[in-house]
Chain A
Amino acid sequence: MSNRLFGPLDPAPDAGWQDAPARKGFLTDTSICIGCKACEVACKEWNAIPEDGLSLLGSSYDNTGSLGASTWRHVAFIEQPMASTRATRPSVPVDLGMPSVGLRDAPQDPTSEQATSAQATDAQATDAQATTGKADFRWLMSSDVCKHCTHAACLDVCPTGSLFRTEFGTVVVQDDICNGCGYCVPACPFGVIERRTDDAARVDGSGLRTIVNKVKRVDKVPEKRVRDKNVGIAQKCTLCYDRLSAGNTPACAQACPTQSIQFGDVDELRERAQVRMEQLHAQGVPEARLYGADPGDGIGGAGAMFLLLDEPEVYGLPPDPVVTTKDLAAMWRKAGLAALAMLGGAAVSFLGGRS
């Protein structure tokens, strides 16, 4: 099944752009992400996104949480203890002659209290564990972003035309059009777009005043509130539409120190992703896989694709996203039938005498 709501397609010409430039997108190669969050910072800086909560979430180094109205890049951190799944790549430690206290590897057996006390000093034991492949441990880091879907549910369901397809094939909110109906929020299969709340958008430090008031238990100190101009409006990554229009690279890709985030033409990025995955497979990383790079998938392929090192759901990504509007024709048919049924039912209620 392939039509304008589903299947492979070049989105910009489909949206009516004539002589559209090549579709632009991201390839986020998580195998070389170092979790520095430069992308998060660069995005906030360039797009003047308000601060949206300073808190410790208890999820490794991820204190950002998830993508949202005021978070357009989100670095996920997964500290993943591995059992002996790396049979193909025995992790033999290379002695670099560096000073070490042997704290890196913890024992795998949780019941072994002795091991816990012994491991700190027994470097030999640690080495033994490493060579047998029993104790292994890895970091997964991935910078998540709006996927700029070929078939973007947020754009499909937007009733005002605020969300639109740019000439670069990306999906952007026009903040002067959006009326904050919020429909795009549940429509997105990735949970990317969100309506900005007043709470997240105080930009003048009055949040600090609020907490001082609370601690002192006084309500007298007036709170000066500067509302961000986009409160109540749906917000998400624009793939730096302004920078693209000027021929620049999006802020996050520009800031990425390892080129984990690569920006370019989607067609070329797809090829590059394929090559990189094969390279990793050849190097003994069989878990490397592509996400969002298949134009035949449920969203017609993503403009922002990923090279992941585990199943998508481990990173908080849906394993098999499908654009909801794929079923829209069937939905309208059912609604039409239901409407007819109601009309018929009403007619029937008037049969059968005056009582």
Chain B
Amino acid sequence: MSNPGEAETTYGRWPDDDRGRGRRRRDVQAAAARGLRRGREQLNELAERADRVDRGGYGFAGRQGRGRGDKGEGGERAVVPEATFTSYYGRPVVKASPWKADIPAYFFFGGVAAGSSLLGAGADLTDRPALRRVGRLGALAGISLSMGVLIHDLGRPSRFLNMQRVMKPTSPMSVGTWILSLYGPLAGLAAVSELVELSRYLPRALRGPARLLASAARPAGLAAALTAPAVASYTAVLLSDTATPTWHDAYPHLPFFFVGSAAAAAGGLAMIAAPVGEAGPGRRMGIGGVLAEFVVDQRMEAAMGLTAEPLHDGKAGLYLRIAKTLNVIGLAGAVLLGRRSRTASVISGSALLAGSACTRFGIFEAGQQSARDPKYTVVPQRERLDAREGTKG
């Protein structure tokens, strides 16, 4: 410890446990519970950051602190030299979204619904009744669940309908709400006629409306299929239209990645629920979706640079590695055995479904991680600024 400035600008000076306990003892009457809890969390966070400083990753509050590990030997551990940059005590610059698991789940269910509507409409036109049923019912289930989690995620769920007091093309969430308001009833109409068809006994009074419903099912299903791709792709814009570094930088590729994931999920559902003889289009859709994901992922990460890093780190990295494994299993199963065995179809279909869910959670978490670490905000902006100032003079 060389001077007072250093003492304040470098963390990990006090073992956080001791400090927390000492403070608890002293200030028990004075400190409100939330203050303490927050303080403890922050101290833990700080300790984590201090570890990162020891690895040579950070400089705090002033250039003099740049990337200097306190214990000296820490810096040598890193294989790739980490970007040095300045931050305010290692604190995030942008805020991570307050969204929880609801939002990636919403993407997943919405993707299942969109792909299923397409399969349902195609099956309707090519006379595959079992696949049609799976598609239409899958779409209704998917869209209902996705609306459910979307509303649950709101800070004030009772005010959900405030979404519909404006129509704003600058807000992907507003656009998405209107897409869902168009798509949802259409998908619902198509699905309800399937339910009616499934019910063996109908009271005489309901037979007329049921016939009407049945005649509306095809146009509704086709209209739903036309709006469905928008349901699958707009969610990428929803993520990208933020200051969250990883989400924003992925914007040229993320919509393609997301429709691939949606296709894989819906294909997987068809492989699980439709008989092998009719599930062919679902299988091909699943295979196509996974292949598209693989190709787009390569290009996306190559184009992103530093902000692609969170896709491989921490929880996000884990989700995406699991997703890739599941996708490979699903792909292999669908290509090699999907045609022959229902069991293999169910297993590989489940792998594709689960893979899609993991993909959504992975992308979501990667963005959250990129927002929490000031590196991903500061370094690219600093490089951009320096390059611009360099060209100016």
User: Which A positions have Cβ atoms within 8 angstroms of B?
Assistant: 5, 51-60, 62, 65-66, 68, 76, 78-83, 106-110, 137, 153, 156-162, 177-183, 185-196, 199-200, 202, 205, 207-208, 210-211, 214-215, 231-234, 310-311, 313-321, 324-325, 327-328, 330-332, 334-343, 345-350, 352-355
B313 in the interface, Cβ–Cβ < 8 Å?
A: no
Query: Cβ of A354: which chain B residues have Cβ within 8 Å of it?
Result: 277-278, 280
Query: Cβ of A330: which chain B residues have Cβ within 8 Å of it?
Result: 251-252
Cross-interface CB contact of A318 among B29, B94, B96, B259, cutoff 8 Å: B94
Cα distance A307–B165 when bound, in Å?
A: 40
B348 in the interface, Cβ–Cβ < 8 Å?
A: no
Contact B285 A207 (CB under 8 A): no
Query: Cβ of A325: which chain B residues have Cβ within 8 Å of it?
Result: 170, 241
Contact B155 A195 (CB under 8 A): yes
Query: Cβ of B177: which chain A residues have Cβ within 8 Å of it?
Result: 159
Of the listed residues B11, B62, B114, B388, the one surrounded by the most CB atoms of chain A closer than 10 A to its CB is: B62
B89 in the interface, Cβ–Cβ < 8 Å?
A: yes
Binds A, one of B185-193, B206-214, B226-234: B226-234
B64 in the interface, Cβ–Cβ < 8 Å?
A: yes
Contact B94 A337 (CB under 8 A): no
Query: Cβ of B122: which chain A residues have Cβ within 8 Å of it?
Result: 346-347, 349-350
B156 in the interface, Cβ–Cβ < 8 Å?
A: yes
B129 in the interface, Cβ–Cβ < 8 Å?
A: no
B203 in the interface, Cβ–Cβ < 8 Å?
A: no
Query: Cβ of A210: which chain B residues have Cβ within 8 Å of it?
Result: 32-34
Of the listed residues A55, A233, A318, A324, the one surrounded by the most CB atoms of chain B closer than 10 A to its CB is: A55
Cross-interface CB contact of B243 among A153, A202, A346, cutoff 8 Å: A153
B317 in the interface, Cβ–Cβ < 8 Å?
A: no
* A5 with B170, Cβ < 8 A, contacts A153-B243, A335-B234 known: yes
Q: Smallest Cβ distance from B136 to chain A, in angstroms? A: 14
Cα distance A51–B114 when bound, in Å?
A: 45
Q: List 26 A-B contacts (CB under 8 A).
A: A51-B32, A55-B35, A78-B62, A78-B88, A79-B9, A80-B5, A157-B171, A181-B155, A181-B173, A185-B95, A187-B241, A194-B98, A208-B33, A211-B33, A313-B88, A316-B88, A316-B93, A320-B388, A324-B240, A328-B172, A337-B255, A338-B232, A338-B236, A338-B259, A342-B115, A346-B263
Query: Cβ of B166: which chain A residues have Cβ within 8 Å of it?
Result: 159-161
* A334 with B251, Cβ < 8 A, contacts A156-B170, A186-B95, A346-B285 known: yes
Cα distance A327–B170 when bound, in Å?
A: 11
Q: Smallest Cβ distance from A60 to chain B, in angstroms? A: 5
Chain A residue nearest in CB terms to B278: A354
Cα distance A55–B126 when bound, in Å?
A: 66
Query: Cβ of B154: which chain A residues have Cβ within 8 Å of it?
Result: 179-182, 232
Contact A339 B162 (CB under 8 A): no
Of the listed residues A214, A336, A338, A340, the one surrounded by the most CB atoms of chain B closer than 10 A to its CB is: A338
Query: Cβ of A332: which chain B residues have Cβ within 8 Å of it?
Result: 169, 237
* A159 with B378, Cβ < 8 A, contacts A66-B91, A82-B64, A187-B243 known: no
B39 in the interface, Cβ–Cβ < 8 Å?
A: yes
Contact with A along B1-40 (1 / 0, CB 8 A): 1111110110101100000000100001111111111110
Contact A338 B256 (CB under 8 A): yes
Query: Cβ of B367: which chain A residues have Cβ within 8 Å of it?
Result: 186
> What would 14 more interface pairs be, CB under 8 Å, given A55-B31, A160-B159, A345-B285?
A53-B38, A56-B23, A59-B89, A137-B3, A185-B97, A186-B97, A232-B155, A233-B156, A318-B381, A324-B240, A334-B255, A335-B233, A339-B259, A340-B229
* A342 with B33, Cβ < 8 A, contacts A55-B38, A107-B3, A180-B155 known: no
Query: Cβ of A348: which chain B residues have Cβ within 8 Å of it?
Result: 284, 288
Chain B residue nearest in CB terms to A155: B170
Contact B163 A189 (CB under 8 A): no
Cross-interface CB contact of A331 among B94, B97, B241, B377, cutoff 8 Å: B241
Contact B280 A355 (CB under 8 A): yes
Cα distance A330–B6 when bound, in Å?
A: 46
B74 in the interface, Cβ–Cβ < 8 Å?
A: no
Q: Smallest Cβ distance from B231 to chain A, in angstroms? A: 9
Q: Smallest Cβ distance from B157 to chain A, in angstroms? A: 8
Contact B168 A161 (CB under 8 A): yes
Q: Smallest Cβ distance from A308 to chain B, in angstroms? A: 12
Contact B384 A320 (CB under 8 A): yes
Query: Cβ of A215: which chain B residues have Cβ within 8 Å of it?
Result: 28
Cα distance A353–B13 when bound, in Å?
A: 70
Of the listed residues B6, B157, B240, the one surrounded by the most CB atoms of chain A closer than 10 A to its CB is: B240
Chain B residue nearest in CB terms to A144: B88
Query: Cβ of B374: which chain A residues have Cβ within 8 Å of it?
Result: 313, 316
